[in-house]
Amino acid sequence: MNSIEKAERIRRMKGVEPVSCLTGYDFATGKLLDEAGVDLVLVGDSLGMVVLGFPDTTHVTMDHMLHHTAAVARGVERALVVGDLPIHSYGSPAEALANARLLVAAGADAVKLEGGLKQVDKIGAIIDGGIPVFGHMGMLPQRVLEEGGYKKKGKSDDEVEAIIEGCLALEAAGCFAVVLESVVGAAAARVTAALDIPTIGIGCGVGNCDGEIAVISDVVGAYPWFVPPFAVVRADVAGETKRAAEEYISALKV
C-alpha cells in the first residue's frame, strides 16, 4: 500500500472501527508499535518534552523532526507514519510544502499541522503536492505560550461552533483525519458527528471520537515526571529501567 492508500484506509475507518494511534520517536518503538498492530504512528513534536527535555513543543525544529521521523520510519512497515510539522515550519503554503516534502523524504507517509481556517491554504499546497495531511484542532500545544497554558477547549457554544467550523474547513481542504486535543467530551462528540473524516481524540473523554491517540511515554509509564490527568498508564518502564540500572550498578560494585 502506498502512503495515499494508507491515509485513505484510515479515513474509511470512520463508523467502521476505532482508529488506534500512538506516538513513537525512535526505531525500536516504531517497530514494536507496528508489530503490535497500531493503525498510525505519529512522530509528534511532543518529542520536545518526552525525549529532548524541553519544557514544551515550541523548541522543536525541523532538524529534530527529520532525525526522529527517519528513525521511526526505518522500523515501521505497515502502519501510517505521520511526521509533525513543528512550530515556525509552515508559515506560508510554499514553506509548508517544502518542509512536508523533507519529512516525506525522511520516511513519513503524511504530515500533521496545528490549526483550522488559517491553515487551509498550507494544507491545500501540501495535498496538491501529493502528501496526505492530518489536522489538529482543539488545544494547540504550539500556542501554549500565547495562551498562557494548556486550556480545555469547547467550554462554550461559540467555542464549539468555531471548532466545528475549523474542522469542516480541514475536511474540505482534504485532511484524512483530525486530532481533537483537550476538548470537552460532549463538544468532541458534536464535532465527531459533524464530520465525515475521523476525529482522533486525546483528552476528550471515552467514546466521543472515532479513534484515540496517546503519547507512548504516558502509555508505558516511561516519563513519570509529568503524566496528564487523562492518561491511562499501562506499564512501569521508568520503574523497571531504574530497577535494572540499580541492579546492574550493585552487581558491579560488590
Please, which residue, 53 or 253, has the CB nearer to ligand KIV?
Answer: 53
23 part of the interface to ligand KIV, by CB under 6 A? yes
Nearest approach in angstroms of CB 138 to ligand KIV is: 10
Taking alpha carbons only, the member of 78, 85, 88 closest to residue 102 is 85
How far is 180 from 183, CA to CA, in rounded Å? Answer: 7
Among 22, 187, 215, 222, binds ligand KIV (CB under 6 A): 215
Q: Is 26 in the site for ligand KIV (CB under 6 A)?
A: no
CA–CA gap between residue 40 and residue 76 (Å, rounded): 10
- 195 in the Ramachandran plot: left (φ > 0), alpha (ψ -120 to 50) or beta? beta
Q: How far apart are CA 247 and CA 48, in angstroms?
A: 30
DSSP letter (8 states) at residue 86: P
**Per CB under 6 A, 213 contacts ligand KIV:** yes
202 binds ligand KIV (CB under 6 A): yes
> Which residues partner with 211 through β-bridges?
19, 200
Q: Which is nearer to ligand KIV, 111 or 213 (CB)?
A: 213
Q: Is 84 in the site for ligand KIV (CB under 6 A)?
A: yes
The amino acid sitting at 140 is: L
Does 39 participate in binding ligand KIV (rule CB under 6 A)?
A: no
Q: Which of 228, 204, 244, 51 has the alpha carbon at shortest distance from 236?
A: 244
Q: Choose between 51 and 253: whose C-beta lies nearer to ligand KIV.
A: 51
5, 114, 165, 181: the active-site residue = 181
Q: Does 45 bind ligand KIV (CB under 6 A)?
A: yes
Of 161, 207, 129, 40, nearest to 169 (Cα)? Answer: 161
Annotation says 181 is catalytic: yes
Question: Binding residue for ligand KIV (CB under 6 A) from 44, 116, 154, 201?
Answer: 44
Task: List, by residue number, the catalytic residues.
Answer: 181
Task: Give contact residues for ligand KIV (rule: CB under 6 A).
Answer: 23, 42, 44-46, 84, 179, 181, 202, 213, 215
